[in-house]
Each structure stands twice: as structure tokens, then as C-alpha cells.
Chain A
Amino acid sequence: MISHRDRNAQRIAALDERAEALGLKRGMGIADARAMHPAIDIEEADAQADRLLLEGLADWCDRYTPLVALDGADGLFLDIAGCAHLFGGERAMLDTMLTRFLQQGFIARAGIASAAGAAWAAARFASGSIVAVGEEAALLAPLPLSALRIEPAVRESLESVGLRRVGAVMATPRAPLARRFGALLLERLDQALGRSDEAVSPRLPAAPLSVERHLAEPITQIEEIERLTASLSQTLKHDLERRGEGARALGLMLFRVDGAVSQIAIGTSRPLRDPLLIQKLFHERLAATGQEYEVGYGFDLVRLSVLSVAAFDMQQTDLTGEIKDAEADIALFADRVRARLGDNAVRRPISVASHLPERSIALVAFTDAPASKSKNRVPSISLSERPVRLFRSPEPVEVPATELPEGPPLHFRWRRALYRVVRAEGPERIAPEWWRESIPDAMAKEGEDAGEVKNRAVAEKTASLTRDYFRIEDAEGRRYWLFRQGLYDAGRTSPRWFMHGIFA
């Protein structure tokens, strides 16, 4: 069952047959539904994903006509004027379309009419029908008002005066209707009856330039795709030259036999029309993005489109044929490395807000370095208090004697050498990040209640993991960053010392 949020209440947005069999209904509150059936599975509606799916289907429908429009959350308009003959006529087109949807696992309903409104109604209330010009009224008359694509409020007010079917509305004089229910009602009616035109705005602008090839035999090999790309881009080159333009972005659309459509896009830093370069870029892209699409049973339609163009300036190069553009070079370098080795190949360090020194630095991918985010939080620890070199992992140090309970060491032994402490500053006390650690069960002592036991456990655990950092200078003037883990009065375990970094 799918829920969605409607004015602060979770309601049922969609449900399957089993849920329907339990007596649940669309629009019902989730709280009520749960009260009835505590065991139901509820999934939050993901409008985003639904939208993506619908757009995927729209992509697939691109094969029938370039003019595909989204309609609401669950419908598509296809303007097939002038296309139907390519698929063997309207009936054949409708049938193959429905069959192919079914094969893909969708239950689709479709209708064809010369008026968008009539097609809308036909698809929803008489799937599979083709409404001939002039037959719209006959189709619509027995249908409920929701076949008219009108606002629920208008529908309700029509129903409240007893007009419950499209036929009843058609039979009512127009002037009183317009006066009471607005012009939109009549417009919808006219659109459905084909009396007025309705423009369907396609979701994708038709690409400025596009070449495609239908394949009788689906292709599966990457080499074949590349070869096809090369020959398509050869065709494109002429078109681009004729227009004096170059491509800034190119898209390769691969229509899979079973309906999935993959689009592989490349951007270029400069207008481009050289088929070789285009082919090369796609080559790298295809190699790198091999996982983004699945070949499946192969592609039966390949289309190469120029998504955006720019004027192609013929550039005079110097005699060496080199163009100096440092910034582009770095980006190009990064792009190429990333294209070849993946997005994580190039990393940069950032500082992280954490008191624990080893957590205060992290490496992130080159692209998602959050330049702005790190500026928001001004670190309150000044860098001069931190060593220039921080060890990846602290190294154990032997400390024979300190001033109790929290003084610096007097001597320490590190990597077998003995150091005498001349000056020391500290302690800087850093407690563990408790939310990463679990608190051990503590045995109750006599006379303690549960709360006290827990408090003692927390305090002991904290104390045994707390670090006291010292900045230390030895007799030679070298400076170290040492810490003692565990406080002296923490009890069971005696503290241990570590070296965590050195100052220059």
C-alpha cells in the first residue's frame, strides 16, 4: 500500500488488490487503516520516482512520435498526427503499443481520438477504442463527469444539482451552465467533443538536430554502437557545417527492445563537430558508464541528437598548434582522469567539525568538495594548537612518571628513545564521541538503583576513554603532541600514553 501526505494527514494513495479486498480505500487515513489492520505494509509514496518512471515511459514513446507530453501524474499524450502510417495505421499502432506495454509489465489504457479530450476519456473509460470524428458525443454521453477533466469542485457542484453524466451536461443549455460553472467547463466539453482545438505541449523540445537509425536486428555489442555513432555523427557534421554551428552537448539515445531507453550525454568545453572527436568522447563515456545501461536483448533504435549548439568560431591557432588555457587544462585533466578511473579517483581533503583530532579531517571526492559548507562552521580550534603533522594512528609511548592526577609526563619513551620533558602545556581534555560507543552494562552495587548504576557506567566509560592532550617540548626544543587515554581516578584500567603528532 502506498501512502502520501495530504494536508498533514497520511492518506492511502494507491493500493493493490489484496489491500482492496481488506476493505481499504483510496483516500482513507493511514491511522484509520492501521487501526483496522495493524499488519498492513505501508510505503511512503515517492512522487519523484513515479515521475521518473512516467518520464521513462515518455522517453520510450519517443519512438512513436517526437511530440510526447506528460499528463498529470499518470498519463501521456502522444500527438500521432502524421505518424500513424509509419506503424501500419492507427489500429495497428494502438494494438502494438498496448501489447508492448503489457510485455513490459504495465497495464496501460489508451484511446485514440481526434480531440485530445475525447482521447483522454476514451483511454480512461473505454480503453482500446478509436473514436472517429463525430462520434465523440456518443462516447462521452454515458460517462461520469470525471471523464471531462474538470476540477473536483466543479464536478461536485454539478453533481449537487443532479447533473451526473456528461450527457446530462450536454443536454443542458449552455448559457446557464457557463454562468454557473464557468467557461472552463464548456471549454473542456468542447475540447472533448472536438469542437475546439487543444494544444498539447510536448515535454522535450525537439532537438535542433537529430539523426536516427531503426535496426531490423537489435544490436548488442558496444563496438556496433560506436560504429553506428560514428556514422551518425558523420551525418551530423554536414548539418552542423551548413548551419555554422558546433555541438556543445550531445545525446545518444539507445532504445532497447523491451522499452527501456538509455541516454548517454556528453558535454564539450568547446563547440565540436569533428566526428572523430565525438566518437572518441562517446568511446570513453561508453567504456566508463558501462554499468549505467544494460544491453538486455539489444537496441533496435539509435538516435544521436545535438542537445545544444553554439556558434562555431574557427580559431586561428599559432604555429605550434597549441592553445593555452590553463583552467580548462585542469578541468580537462580532472575530467579525463575521472572518466577513465571513476569519480572517486580524484580526492581532496576537507576539515570536519569534530573534537577528535583523527576525525577532524576527511578526504572527499573532487566533485563533492563542499566549498561553501565548510565555511559555514568556523572551527573554534585554532590551528596553532594542532600539530603540523598528525599521525594517522597514535603511537604508544611509555611514561614512567607524571604529576598526579592530570599532570604532563616528566620523561617519555617513544620509538625506543627517551625524551626529557622541559616544557608542557595542558591538559586539553577530549572525551569520546559517546554516540559511537555503546555503554557497557554495569553491575549494581549494593543500595544503588537502576538510574545510579547507569550513571556510574556512563561516567566510568567516559572517564576511561577520555584523552588529555599535552603539548610538550623536549630538551632539544622539539615539540610533540602527547595524550593520555583514561583519567587517573577512573578506576579499573590504568591510563596509557600515546604520541599523536609532532609540531614542526
Chain B
Amino acid sequence: MKPEPPCDTPGASRYIEFGVQSNFSFLRGASRPEELVVAASLLGYAGIGLADRNSVAGVVRAWSQSKHIKPAADAAPAAFAYRPGCRLVFCDGMPDVLAYPRDREGWGHLCRMLTQANLRDENEKGATLLRGADLLEWGERMSLAVLADLSRAKDQMTLLRQIKDRFGEAVRLAVAPAYRGDDRFRIEQAAAMASALGLRLMATNDVLYHTSARRPLQDVLTAIRLNVPVAEAGLELAANAERHLKPPAEMARLFRRYPEAVEETWRFKKELGFSLGELQHNYPDEPTRDGATPQQELERLAKEGAAERYPGGAPASVTERIREELRLIEKMGYARYFLTVHDIVRFARSQGILCQGRGSAANSVVCFCIGITPVGPDKIDTLFERFISEERNEPPDIDVDFEHERREEVMQYIYAKYSGKRTALAAAVTSYRARSALREVAKAMGLSDDVRSGLSSSIWGSSSSELGEREAKAGGLDKADPVTRQVMDLANEIMGFPRHLTQHVGGFVITKDRLDEIVPIVKTAMDERKMVEWDKDDLDAVGLLKVDVLALGMLSCLRRAFDLLEDHYEDAHDDYGRSYTLATLPPEDASVYDMICRADTLGVFQIESRAQMSMLPRLKPKEFYDLVIEVAIVRPGPIQGDMVHPYLRRREQKEKVEYYKDELKAILGKTCGVPLFQEQAMKIAIVAGGFKPGEADELRRAMATFKRTGTIHNYRDRMVNGMADKGYPRDFAERCFKQIEGFGEYGFPESHAASFALLVYASCWFKTFYPDVFCAAILNSQPMGFYAPAQLVRDAQDHGIEVREADVNFSGWDCALEEAAFDPGKVLARHGDMRGVIKSRHAVRLGFRQIKGLSDKHMEAFVARRGNGYASVRDVWLRSGLDVAEIEKLAQADAFRSLGLDRRAALWAVRALDGKSAAEKLPLFDRPGIALRELEPEAALPKMPPGEHVIHDYRSLGLSLKAHPVSFLRKRLDGCGVMPNALLASAKNGRRVRVAGLVLVRQRPGKGNAIFLTLEDEKAVANIIFWPRVFDRFRPIVMGAKFVCVTGKLQSETGVVHIVAEKIEDFTPWLAVLQEGAGGDGLASESGEAQSNGHGDLSRQASALLDSGTQKVMPKGRNFQ
């Protein structure tokens, strides 16, 4: 856009546009708030307002942008004026009103009015039913411009008079040129109406987009809104492209007969004194002891906490650090924020809910002392200033993770404490991503279904990168075709546009004053939850308190583990005889690190994935900080920045550590000169790239949201050039920048990694010493993590733990521990080191939760009514309160063994039960304990073969304790020269081997070309690597088969064994052998060819029909990107 020449019409530059809708007027406005502000300033406007339809969701973004507008040297001296407002759209015939608050009180009124309309009982979620009465009730302290519908002048007069009588001088009549041929008449009519009512006329252009080039996009939005193709939307579309921001001189020309209407916008603006900056720092008051100030209270808590954390007295450096942090907190006035988070954490602890904080501000000693974070400054560098910087003046940010099943209790506490008046959830803006943008635009442009699905299936995941040739081709389209180009262009344009607001997963806004006078509150999909209209970034920008109350599965698992430990191992406690907690687990235990170094980490937190596991033997963690690095290193940031291998080489001392300059040694000293953490990359930008601290953070934010602004290149050039100028190698600078890019969305700051590392250590501690406890706890916390229950159970068994089947007479809902001697002899040779380490004394009894399709409520009642045990299937039916379908599920899970019934016999008995529930039956012959012989002829059922049992176990439980499916095939595999996976570890490097197994996981990490496959046989897993050429050749088998045989070269490097695949064969049909009826007496198949006459040779054909059943049951393997 080129700047307009300065206008010569006097007063024209004093034009301010107030009738502006952004794309937060969903599916109407076609420009981002930021774009509108920038365009207005380039056109030489003195200012701009933003008034979205019954919403203020976009005002913060426009405000943030307006702060960056610097008056040009030759422009008018007055600063660019931005005013937030709202376009009130009524449901009862009242004309639209542009409402702009005059001061803080007026803003409160506006928010109250919108909240009232949002929360009406009769509203659907997301709808706003605003009535004229709402305006009359809450319209004080605002300036109002009424956009009267001139085609209904008569009844509009009445309504206008009503508004005028109520608000007097504050009211204007606004009119916009419509270009329908009668503008001169319309404006005169409006002027006549205004003078008849004693109102002043105000000009507007009723803007929907910042440039006329957005008309096509606006038409597409209309089409999406009406759910018709553009070509059929007809008169619903705008006839022309006039609703853009016009140069002030053009506005003056359009209103040349009424210059006062243009001038009026200036007067309107002068009445508006409210800025969003006034909302800042509305932190809730927390009760303090003896009426102390929040700062005093925080100081006291920090002092007491320090005494507790450091029983021997805190080291001087720590006390100094605390003093420094408290000073900064006092200066910025953040004490109340810390008290609020402290109180939430305190509540959770009092309820026995495991939790821990992370996030930027958690990175402080004060947070450590008052118990928000678990990792002290002796373990990591805490860089508090980075997160509360004086110059940025943004509120601190603390996220707290809670057990995923008990987070709700914490949320209820927050609601109860602050009430709906002072707290609500933050919003999350759902925006168009590549896939949705393409899908909806293609639909609006009338492309056919198959093209559309082809197009959108070409996009992996939820990307929001630019669409182009590749996507077009996938949809069978030619990029040169004009329609295709339009679709692509429009989809790229719409990407990042907000679609609707949803609730943030756990971000609470808490305020001291009434929340509904700060920001409008809206309904969410859940009745009892309310949210505000602003998202995380908006809240940050405005400076409101926000706490993320998040759910973390591993915390649930650990809490269960602590409970089980306390219940079953009375000897497990710390030196003072107290039960263990996260903070008091024996630290830095060598056995734990030994296990980690062996990559025996299946199931533990974070370091359980294939990529992590193969890193462990190379990284060889020996102490806590190594875990912090391990957590941070296998992330998109360091991987994209190509930092991983240099780090490993340097750590293994294969490469010299180089810092290029001393200034970097301070930053990168701990990580061998390689930036691995977010703050290191930021610091490099500051120290080496010449960014100011605030700018460096802006840079990081720009990465996360660069679609919004698109200014990434400037940053890149600045940083790379800046570093090159200072004498750094260019490729190092490039990599640093790339890493920041990767961090944008998946960054791990050090404190974050440290919080996670603590959970890594804790979960590893349990797995090392109490694999039984770990197994039961993690099974009871499913679904979580990377592995399915089958692997978790297998791993426990491999460590010598006995796992017992779910049984009607022994199991509870959860998996439980039962007394059993630990036999070190059962530990697999591969885990032989653990024989002397493991302290288990229990077996794991599977719970009913493993059985698919049962409900916890019913099964808990089932257990409660069990008494001395159930005597028969019939007894279960009569007493347990379960219905037949549920009992059948128990039978299918083979849970009646304690009654002497195998799966088939139990099913036969269950099928004989009729009716929904036993309660409806007369108890005549149905008294429990009386063994009534069933009065029916015996049916001779064939015995179920073991393979079939295994299949049914998989179907019902997802695992089998009886045998591994592959064990049935071992003989056949031996015949083919297939090596058991367990022997791979001892095989020679470089040897060619054949292995076989069920496909557990397929993975294609990051942008890497290799495809990883994990195969499982009855004893161990094998890790396969496919290079692209081989993969392309065998793609169907790699992606489709469930049971495969791979031939390839064995590669062993520092204890990590891979097989580089050369060939893969699909052995899936072999699984049919497990199935009853396969082999000797195959059945006729339905899909077989037409047969010769007669029915003699029917049984000759093997049954393709039956084995498809087996194949369905076996896990497909999980795919990860």
C-alpha cells in the first residue's frame, strides 16, 4: 500500500473512522484488527475505532498494534488515536449502534451490557441476544452513533427519539454512503432526520476490510456464513467493493455537502478518554496474616519456605537471590499474583492432589521457596529477570500442572473462592489452519467433494504454513488454472482468521474487581463454565492475572504410585520416617541413573519415546541436570536448529567445545557451547545479535504467531547480520535463528525442562525399585504416554513381576497389588542388572478397568456386593446388579476362571441369562447359594484352543497374559531363519539378520527422512530403520501390515541396536494360525470363486473369512510423526 499524498482539504486529516468491523466480527469482517490500524495510519487517519459485532474480542490486538504506530515526521503532531468500542447489533429491531466508552466506567458498562446479553438463559452458546432495553440500561458514560436503517425511517424515528431522550448529547446519527444509486438522497434524509431529532450527523464508511482487494475474501466469508457457494449467494453478496478504508480526502468528498459530518468524528473522538491500559494490574487480594500487605505476606512466606527448603539454613547466594527477586516483585507490584498461585497450590496439596508449577515466572527462587515449583536454584540456573522484565511490564506467567483426574477439584475451588464474578476461563481463538482454510474456501468456490477431500488430505496435521503447488497437485488441480489460484490465494488469505472462541483448557483469569466490568463474559459449551472474550496473549497485553491450571497424566500416575507404596511397603519412607513425596524421594540415586543409561525407560515420563531411548545410551545421564538436558534436547527446537549432534559429539568428547567468543561462554557453558534451551537462544540474540531484551522476547512471540504479522524476515536478517558483524560464523548464527524459530511453538525453557526432569526422575525411581507399583499405577492412569497396556505389562513381567488376570472374585476396578514373593530368577537376562536392585514384593492383579466397555460405577458396585465371592455366572447376575451385556463382557475377558469356567463355558452360561437385569425377576428359584441344576440338555461345546484365547484376550483386554501371539509361530519362524529379538543384543555388529514381530509403532520424526518401526515378539522388541528408498519400495507393507518379517543389517552403536532394513515381508496372514478352524479344516469362503457343481469340495478352500477376524483384533500399530 502506498501512502496517499497529504490531503489539501482542510479538516480532512481529522477524519476518524468509527464504523469498523474486523475479522472478529466472525465471517463478516475481512481484515485483521492489526491490518486495519496499520492501513488507517498509512492513509493518514488521525485515528481509528474498532467496533466488532457485539464483541470486543479484537480490540486488544488493535490496541497492541496501535502502540507501534509512530507518527511520521511530517504528519500532524497529534498521536494516532485508537479507541476500542463495539457495534451493538440488536435482536429486537433497534438499529445498530456504535458504542464507544468515554472512560473506565463506560467500559465497565459496555462489558456489563454485553455480558448480560451473552448470558441470557435462552441463548445458544455463542449467541448474543442484545435488546434495546440493555442499551437503555447500560448506555451511560458512552458516546453512541446510531446507524439508522433509512429504509424504515418512520419506526426508526421513534427508536432514535428513545435513545436521544435517554442519552441526549452523547448520541449521533451515523450514515454511510452505500453506492446504490440514491446516496445523495439517503444522506439528505439522514441529515433531515438528525436535525428533526436535534442530533448531529456523523460520517462513516461502515468498513469491513482495509483494502478493496479484500472484497473477494469478504464474499467468501459471506458464502461460508450462509453455507452456499459464492456463485449462488447472489444478492447476499455485496454489490461492490466500497466498504474499505478510504482516504480521508475521499470521505470529505463523499460528504462534501455535509462537512460537519466528517468534522463530527473528531468531536466524537475527543469525548472518548478510555484506554485499555487502564485495566492493568487488577490482581485479586488474598487474605494475609494480621492484615499484612501482600508484599509483607509474600516475604514472610518466602522466608518460612526457605527455612523449610534449607533445613540447615539457606546459602548466602540464595538469600541474596530471594532479596533481589522480592525487590523486583515489589517494584512491579506482583506480590498478589504470587499469593494467588500459592493459595491454589496450597489448596491442592491440602487435598492430596499432586501438582507442580512451571512456566516463565516459575523460574524463581521465591516460587521454589513458597512451594510452587519443586526444583531449586542449586539444580538449575534461575533467570528471573528474563521472565519479569522491568521494561516489558507484562504480568508474570505461571502454569501449574495437576493430576489429570483431579484437576476439576482445583477448578471448583477457584470458582468457589472467587465466584463467577471475579473469575472465568481465558478464551482460545480457534483460527483457520491450512486444512480448514482450504476446505471451506474450496467449498465456497464450489469445488466438488472429491477435489476437496483430495486437497485437504494433502495437508499433514494442523499446519498453518503457506499453501501452494504441492497441495494443489494432491487435489488433482493445476496451479495455473485460475480457479485453483483463486482458491489457493483466498485460502492463504483466510488462514489465521479467527473462526470462533473456545475455552482455553485451563487458563483462569482472576481479578479483584468485577470481571464482567473488565471484559465481557460469554458462555462455553459446558453449562457451568464461563469464559472471557480475550485469549492468553490479549490478557498478557492488557496485564490481567492468568493462571494456567493444567492436567498432566504422569502426576496422576505418580500420586497413585505414592499411595500404593505407602499401602504396601511400610518400609519405604525417608530418613525421618515420613512417606515419600515428590520433594523427598532420595535424590541422585545411582541405580536409577544406571537404569536410564540402559534405556530401560519404557513407560516413564518424557524419555520413553524411541528417539529419547536411543539418545539415552549416548547421553548417559549421571545427574539431574543431564535429565534436564535430555528432556530439552529431543524437541523440535534443537532438532530444527541442528544442535543435537554437535552437543552429543562434544559431550562424548569427540569434538572440541568452542564458544567463538567469551561472551557466549557464560551463556552456553553448561551445554558444551550448544544452545539447547529457549533462554539461551534469547540470550544469544541479546548478547551476540544486538537485540534489546524486550525485543528478543518479541522475536520469540513473533515466531509463534508469525502468520499474524508476517515480519519474520526482518528479524532473521537482523539477527544473522548482527551476529556476523560481531564475528560469529554465519552458519552458527543461522542455526541459532532456526532454533528460535523451532522454539516459537515447541520451546522448552530451562525451568520447564527442569520441572519435567523431576517427574522423569520420580517415575524412573519407581520403575527402578518398585516395578510392581509403577506398573499398577500407570495402568490405572491410562490413557497416557507412549505405550499401550500390553507393553507396560510385558515390561513389568520382564522385570520379574507377576501379573495376574482380571477375575470376578479377585479384581477391583483398578489394578491392585497382591502379596507375592519376588523371584529374581524371573528377571530377563537383559535386565539382569536389576536383579539386586528391585525391591518388589507384590504381584499386579489386573483390574476391571482393563476390560473394554465396563463402567467404573457399575463395577465398583459389583465389587461391593461380592461378599465372600460369587459362586456362579447366575449368582453374579442375581447379586451384582450388572446387566447381561456387562456380564458377557466379563465372560469375554475370561474373568470367570476362579469359578472353574473358561471363556467359552462362561459365555455359554451368560447367554442363558435373559432380560435386562436380574432385579426384574421373581426370586422364586433364584436364591443365591442354591445350586439349581439348569434344566436343559447338555451342549457339547468344542474346546477353545490357546491361540484363540489369546486373540480374545487381545480383543477384550488389549493384551494377553497367556501367551504372546508370536510365540505360537516361533517354530515356523525358526524354520525361516528368523532370529528372536532377544538375541539381537548379543549379535555381531554389521551382521545380516532376519527378525519378525508385531508392529508396535511407526514413526517419522520431524522432517527426518528415516522411518522407524518397532517390532515386538514374545520376548523383546527390535528397532528397525527404513531409509526412504527402501521404504518407498515396501511402503504398503510398512504402513499396512501388522505382523512383519524384516531382513537387514544389524547396527549397534553405544548399546543402541538398530536393524537397517533391506527387505520386509508381510507375515500378517500367519496370524490366522492362532484362530480356531484355521489349518486342517478350513471353511468355504464367501469370497471364493464360483465353485464346481455339487457340494463335495466345499471345505477345501482355506478361510480368508476367518483370518480377517484375527487381523482386526491385533493392534494396528500406532503412527507418530
A contact set with B: CB distance below 8 Å: 22-23, 25-27, 32-33, 35-38, 44, 107, 109, 124-129, 138-139, 142-144, 146, 157, 160-165, 168, 172-173, 175-176, 179-181, 352-355, 377, 379-381, 385, 425-431, 433-436, 438-439, 451-452, 454-459, 462-463, 466, 469-471
Contact = CB atoms under 8 A, between A and B. Distances in A.
In the A-B complex, list the 3 residue pairs whose CB atoms are closest, starting with the nearest.
Answer: A353-B234, A428-B181, A180-B911
A44 B454 CA distance: 13
B907 A435 contact: no
A320 B1 CA distance: 83
B892 interface: yes
Contact of B1086 (A146, A168, A456, A470): A146
Nearest to A32: B1040
A35 B482 contact: no
Contacts of A454: 213, 489
Interface stretch (B107-115, B587-595, B934-942): B934-942
A15 B1042 CA distance: 21
Contacts of A26: 1087
B230 interface: yes
A157 B1093 contact: no
Interface of B: 1, 179-182, 184-185, 211-216, 219, 230-242, 445, 450, 482-483, 485-486, 489, 710, 892, 904, 907-908, 911-912, 914, 936-937, 939, 941-944, 952, 1035-1037, 1039-1040, 1066, 1076-1077, 1083-1084, 1086-1087, 1090-1091, 1093-1095, 1098-1099, 1103, 1105, 1108, 1116
A181 B912 CA distance: 9
Nearest to A379: B235
A431 B1086 contact: no
Given A161-B908, A164-B1077, A459-B211, A469 B936 contact: no
B241 A431 contact: yes
A176 B1090 contact: no
B181 A36 contact: no
A419 B1096 CA distance: 99
Given A377-B234, A462-B241, A23 B1036 contact: yes
Given A107-B1090, A179-B912, A429 B1039 contact: no
A444 B952 CA distance: 67
A236 to B, nearest CB: 43
16 contacts: A23-B1037, A25-B1108, A127-B1091, A128-B1090, A139-B1095, A143-B1083, A144-B1103, A161-B907, A161-B908, A162-B941, A165-B1083, A179-B912, A379-B235, A454-B213, A456-B213, A458-B212
A157 B891 CA distance: 12
Nearest to B1119: A35
Contacts of A436: 231
A180 B212 CA distance: 72
Nearest to A98: B1090
A434 B215 contact: yes
Contacts of B1103: 144
A175 B939 CA distance: 10
A434 B908 contact: no
A180 B912 contact: yes
Given A142-B1084, A146-B1105, A459 B1035 contact: no
Contact of A466 (B240, B908, B943, B1077): B240
B1098 A126 contact: yes
A381 B235 CA distance: 9
Given A129-B1094, A173-B939, A430 B235 contact: no
B937 A435 contact: no
A279 to B, nearest CB: 46
Contacts of B486: 435, 438-439
Contacts of A139: 1095
A355 B214 CA distance: 18
Contacts, number: 189
B240 A36 contact: no
B801 to A, nearest CB: 31
B234 to A, nearest CB: 3
A106 to B, nearest CB: 12
Among B214, B219, B912, B1036, chain A packs the most CB atoms within 10 A around the CB of B1036
Contacts of B941: 161-163
B234 A142 contact: no
* Chain A contact surface mostly: mixed
B1098 A125 contact: yes
Contacts of B1094: 126, 129
B1090 A127 contact: yes
Contacts of A157: 907, 911
Contacts of A127: 1090-1091
A180 B908 contact: yes
Given A22-B1036, A139-B1095, A160-B907, A435 B231 contact: yes
Contacts of B1098: 125-126, 142-143
Contacts of B936: 173, 175-176, 179
A466 B1094 CA distance: 79
A23 B908 CA distance: 36
Contacts of B445: 435
B234 A144 contact: no
Contact of A144 (B231, B236, B483, B1084): B1084
A428 B179 contact: yes
A34 to B, nearest CB: 8
B1078 to A, nearest CB: 11
A459 B212 contact: yes
Contacts of B180: 428-429
Nearest to A434: B216
Contact of B1 (A35, A380, A428, A452): A452
Contact of B1040 (A35, A180, A435, A466): A35
Contacts of A385: 181
Nearest to B217: A458
A124 B1084 CA distance: 10
A23 B1066 contact: yes
Contacts of B937: 173, 175-176
Contact of B939 (A37, A172, A381, A434): A172
B1077 A459 contact: no
Contacts of A456: 213
A462 B212 CA distance: 9
Nearest to B1085: A144
Contacts of A455: 1, 211, 213-214
Contact of A429 (B179, B485, B1087, B1099): B179
Nearest to A157: B911
Contacts of B213: 454-459, 462
A182 B489 CA distance: 61
B715 to A, nearest CB: 15
A430 B942 contact: no
Contact of B485 (A161, A430, A438, A462): A438
Contacts of B234: 352-355, 377
A8 to B, nearest CB: 13
Contacts of B1095: 125-126, 129, 138-139, 142
Contacts of A38: 1035
A142 B1098 CA distance: 8
A452 B1036 CA distance: 45
B181 A377 contact: no
Contact of A109 (B489, B710, B1090): B1090
A426 B178 CA distance: 11
Contacts of B942: 162, 168
A435 to B, nearest CB: 5
Given A127-B1091, A429-B242, A435-B231, 18 more contacts: A23-B1066, A126-B1095, A144-B1103, A165-B1083, A173-B939, A180-B912, A181-B911, A353-B236, A354-B235, A355-B234, A425-B184, A425-B185, A431-B240, A435-B483, A438-B482, A439-B485, A439-B486, A459-B212
Nearest to A139: B1095
Contacts of A175: 936-937
A452 B912 CA distance: 75
Given A162-B904, A164-B1076, A172-B939, A430 B1066 contact: no
